């Protein structure tokens, strides 16, 4: 069983809309992360939502190299098509919609790790 570790999540995608990720997430042994989203519009009482991310498989360095080659050859439209063919897990706003995760990479940093996720 893995020990729990703090990580910072960066989620790129249309699903996020007007929300920003406001809290760090704690990883469980099942590669499930939870976080709180906070609406970034200047409201007096910000709206919050819970986000659950389930990672089934991380993208490889070869995936990243292939995506860069697709972008170089076919531009952003080809890149979007290639990314959408990948399936790495799911992201769910609790009580809302679920989106497929298409690309997941871990970036090591001095203070820990960041997980970069690409979703709809």
Convert the pLDDT of each residue in 10-69 to its tens digit. 444 433 444 444 334 444 335 888 888 887 776 677 788 898 999 999 999 999 999 999
Predicted confidence (pLDDT) at residue 93 exceeds the cutoff of 60: yes
Alpha-carbon distance of 18 to 33, in angstroms, equals 20
The full 3-state SS of 7-49, as one line of letters, equals EEEEEEEHHHCCEEECCCEECCCCCEEEEEEEECCCCCCCCEE
The pLDDT, as a whole number, for residue 30 is 53
- Please tell me the pTM assigned to this model: 0.64
Q: Residues near 119 by Cβ (< 8 Å), separated by ≥ 6?
A: 11, 12, 13, 15, 91, 99, 100, 101, 102
Burial (0-12, 13-18, 19+ Cβ within 10 Å), 5: exposed
Alpha-carbon distance of 50 to 19, in angstroms, equals 11
The pLDDT, as a whole number, for residue 75 is 93
The larger pLDDT score, comparing residue 110 to residue 66, is at: 66
Alpha-carbon distance of 43 to 21, in angstroms, equals 16
Residue 109: pLDDT band (50, 70, 90) is confident
pLDDT (tens digit, 9 = 90+) per residue, 79-92? 999 999 999 999 99
């Amino acid at each position: 069983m893995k020990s729990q570790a703090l990580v910072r999540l960066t989620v790129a995608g249309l699903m996020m809309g007007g929300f920003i990720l406001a809290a760090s997430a704690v990883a469980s042994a099942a590669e499930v992360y939870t976080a709180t989203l906070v609406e970034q519009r200047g409201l007096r009482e910000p709206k919050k939502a819970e986000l659950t991310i389930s990672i089934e498989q991380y993208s490889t360095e070869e995936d990243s190299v292939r995506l860069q080659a697709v972008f170089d050859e076919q531009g952003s439209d080809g890149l979007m098509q290639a990314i959408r063919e990948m399936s790495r897990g799911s992201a769910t706003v609790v009580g809302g919609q679920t989106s497929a995760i298409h690309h997941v990479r871990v970036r090591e940093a001095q203070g820990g790790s960041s997980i970069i996720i690409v979703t709809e």
